[in-house]
Amino acid sequence: MTKPNLKIKKRIIFLMFLFFISSVALVVRLGNIQIIEGEAYKKEAFSQWSRDITINASRGTIYDSKGKKLAVSIKSDTVVCFPRDVMKSIKTVEVEEKSDQNSFIFNFLNMFRRGENDNPMDLDNDLSANEGGPIPNKTPDEIADILAGILEMDREEIYEMITGDTDYVTIKRWVSVKQAEEVKAANLSGISVIEDNQRIYPYDNFASHILGFTNIDQAGMYGIESTYNGYLTGEPGRRIVNTDGNGIELPFDGFEQYYAPVDGLNVVLTIDEVIQHFAENAVEKAYYDNNAKSATMIIMNPNNGDILAMASRPSYDPNNPRLPYDETMKNEWSGLSGQDLQNEWYDLWRNISVNDIYEPGSTFKLLTTAIALEENKASMNSTYFCDGYVDDIITETPIKCWRYYNPHGLQTLAEALQNSCNDALADIGLAIGKETFYKYNKALGFGQRTNIALNGEAFGIVNSPETMRDVNLVTQAFGQGISVTPIQLVTAVGSLSNGGNLIKPRLVKQLVDNGGNIVHENPVEIVRKVFSEETSNNMMEIMESVVSQGAGISAYLPGYSVGGKTGTAQKVVNGKYSEELYVTSFIATAPTLDPEIVVLLIIDEPKDSYYGSVIAAPVVGAVIDETLKYMNVQPVYTKDEIIKLEKSYVIVPNVIGLSLKDASYELDRIGLKHNITLDNEEDILVKDQYPKEGIEVIKGSVITIMLN
């Protein structure tokens, strides 16, 4: 073999060896790609030509006890961005600048696959066309300009969002139909319009402290929206679609995977929308009439613990929770920003009925009296002498009765409550003793949460026997030196009205699905038996006498045997009781013969009169009158009431469908009043009324009108 042939042979062998090694390496590499890393590459490829869009589940509806919608979710469009696809558009624009150089080659090759009558120059259109025409390739700057114009947003803000280092970003939620259509028509790389859910509260600031609100991501922030967020939220779905090289959806390529969301459960509350409106109107009146810091009302059914209404002022609109409640608040907030403004929001969102504590004042005397009766430390025949001062306790500042300048003298137990006598209640407190008083405080739920279905419930403050001195025992007996929440006091007084049972307050009745099926029901829960039937009945008798003969007379309602107690407590400022700042309250139950409701009104820091008998009792009386009539509770009159009212009855006319002006005239003509005051009474029609047509009522009664 000649040397040249040998060299050639060696070269061939070497080349074959290289080819073999390369082939083996290629096979190994292909095997690695297809078998070992195949799934990963498949996912990567899939992610480049597809888009995975989250579909939010519809948040559950919140209903009142009669099925009226208080919080609902509606379908609304949201504009979102996939920044990775936006950045593709930069490369696409660069490639398009070079594409003209290759167009001749593409057209030449296309001649061999097209018919002789076809235009070879149509290939460019075929390569770049979809069903909607040529794909517009825009730079991020151009996309930001277009979106800013459509969505009425800051252009720089949009640019930062669409070029950010994230896979997915929401540009603007809940856009108008017109805006959604314009964004779709713009056909922008990486930009999609998706179906979203928007939370709506149809009654605006109605029951806002119960309902709470949701954030931009539809997560509950306060109220029932927060505590039941897990049930209301549901499970999100997914929509997977193909995209082209520019990140634009291909709606007609036949590929789409859809995983339906699972809607959240619906929450049925115990509150009644009509009774809640009574409470809302009452606290509005109390708040503004007294130029108060706040006003709060709770209405509860003592027989099952159901909260029928819970309202506070100032309030907020859950649709726009960061807006001030009124012009006064708007002016107060005008110079605030940052943390100072946030603190004002937090205060506005607090539910006073549950989150705040206060000294109950004389309303607590009801419980002191009930404890004494239950423990046989007092009886219905007991008497007490008031000389204006508590003589049994010597303190630096004398403890005196509110009417120390004209003492009550000798009085029965019922008269002591009618007179709200501190001297008598101090004697009763000392007779009860520290250990027993503390035991009943705990039994009544003070110093502990009621576990109502709302976040942030306060515990209250109760002195233990070890830390309680005689002076603490005496002041606690008439409602100072102990701090409670409004919901604790209503629950405790409820036990006096229902035969002695402490019942857990119930705000959520049940959870139901969209088919109306009950998924879960919260049962009535009797926490414990605190008082006997005898004590309960005696307390109803005493409370009724306070209203019919004592300080609560302005809450008196013929036929409804209202029982109650006023309260006026000095506020503590810098460790001392203020002579200027008060918490005024009135708590009542009705009818005392067969209690249906317990109502508490608290007015914090009224500016003029601060006596509960003057500013709180009349408001509560009016609410009880409206509520019992709405509940169709028939009045039961005493003989004296019948004699007085015999000639005072009128028949309620039908004013439904009339304008407010005409309805006012009809009612006024026969001596009846109504609950609405508006500047323009001609254009608004009456939707409903309570009592209904044909019911016999006393002249001067207030007819509750509901407007369209």
- The residues facing 54 across adjacent strands are 238
CA dist., res. 358 & res. 481, Å (int): 10
- Identify the pLDDT of residue 376: 97
Question: Which residues are within 8 A (CB) of 399 and not within 5 positions of it... i.e. 6 or more apart?
Answer: 389, 390, 393, 422, 426, 471, 474, 475
CA dist., res. 81 & res. 169, Å (int): 5
Inter-residue contact 77 to 93 (CB < 8 Å): no
Q: Of 246, 215, 237, 211, whose CA–CA distance to 225 is shortest? A: 211
- The residues facing 240 across adjacent strands are 52, 257
Strands (E), 83-152: 129-130, 133-134
User: How far lies 332's CA from each of 5, 325, 356, in Å?
Assistant: 103, 11, 22
Phi and psi at 635, nearest 5°, equal -70, 145
Whether omega before 314 lies within 30 degrees of 0, making that bond cis, reads yes
Map residue 525 onto helix, strand or coil.
coil
CA dist., res. 603 & res. 284, Å (int): 11
Instruction: Identify the H or E element spanning 526.
Output: strand 526-529
Q: Of 697, 171, 265, whose CA–CA distance to 509 is shortest? A: 265
CA dist., res. 284 & res. 277, Å (int): 10
What is the chain's Cα-based Rg?
37
The two beta strands, 266-269 and 62-63, are parallel
What are 116's two structure tokens? 């002789």
What are 688's two structure tokens? 């409903």
* Torsion, Cα of 525, 528, 533, 539 (10° steps): -90
> What DSSP string runs through 340-371?
HHHHHHHHHH--HHHH--B--GGGGHHHHHHH
Question: Which residues are within 8 A (CB) of 232 and not within 5 positions of it... i.e. 6 or more apart?
Answer: 59, 60, 62, 220, 225, 264, 265, 267
User: Low-confidence residues of the chain, pLDDT below 50?
Assistant: 95-106, 108-135
Map residue 255 onto helix, strand or coil.
coil
Question: How many other CB atoms are found less than 10 A from the CB of residue 159?
Answer: 18
Inter-residue contact 526 to 491 (CB < 8 Å): no
Whether omega before 321 lies within 30 degrees of 0, making that bond cis, reads no
* Torsion, Cα of 531, 537, 542, 543 (10° steps): 80
**Residue 362 among the catalytic residues:** yes
Question: How many other CB atoms are found less than 10 A from the CB of residue 317?
Answer: 16
Identity of residue 700 = G
Question: How many other CB atoms are found less than 10 A from the CB of residue 494?
Answer: 24
The two beta strands, 597-604 and 576-590, are antiparallel
The two beta strands, 649-651 and 307-313, are unpaired
- Identify the pLDDT of residue 45: 57
Question: How many other CB atoms are found less than 10 A from the CB of residue 481?
Answer: 20
Inter-residue contact 554 to 614 (CB < 8 Å): yes
Cα dihedral sign, 583-470-416-442: positive
CA dist., res. 16 & res. 11, Å (int): 8
Q: Please identify which of the residues 58, 226, 353, 362 carries the catalytic annotation.
A: 362
CA dist., res. 537 & res. 380, Å (int): 11
* Torsion, Cα of 689, 693, 696, 699 (10° steps): 60
